[in-house]
Amino acid sequence: DAKTTQPTSMDCAEGRAANLPCNHSTISGNEYVYWYRQIHSQGPQYIIHGLKNNETNEMASLIITEDRKSSTLILPHATLRDTAVYYCIVRGNEHYRDDKIIFGKGTRLHILP
């Protein structure tokens, strides 16, 4: 079972920042937070991951609370192409090579023109 809880769906206006929340209250110390997204009829796409510090890359920013029980993925300037299902995933570090990515139901993000 997925170790995360996400809203089923969200809307965001084009050009605005999309903030996608995720709860992972049972996360353990060696587990990372990952975000993937799946655009309709395509394979999932890796976005970002982090352990406890905030992370930023060319796609998004990941803000993890100090207690690590929740996080927020931020798409700074959402475009129509960002419409997708976004998955928040908790997974152990590389020492657990047989640890799996478990996809939950994700958040369906609609970017509105």
Partner 1 sequence: DTAVSQTPKYLVTQMGNDKSIKCEQNLGHDTMYWYKQDSKKFLKIMFSYNNKELIINETVPNRFSPKSPDKAHLNLHINSLELGDSAVYFCASSPDYYEQYFGPGTRLTVT
| Distances, alpha carbon 64 to alpha carbons 21, 23, 83, 97, in Å | 10, 10, 23, 24
Q: Closest Cα partner for 20 from 10, 28, 34, 33?
A: 10
Question: Rounded to the nearest 10 degrees, how much is the dihedral formed by the CA atoms of 42, 89, 93, 28?
Answer: 180
Give the residue with the Cβ less far from partner 1, 47 or 78: 47
Residues that bind partner 1 (CB under 8 A): 32, 34, 36, 38, 41-46, 49, 85, 87, 94, 97-98, 100-103, 105
Give the residue with the Cβ less far from partner 1, 14 or 110: 110
Give the residue with the Cβ less far from partner 1, 85 or 90: 85
As measured in angstroms, the least distance from the Cβ of 45 to partner 1 is 7
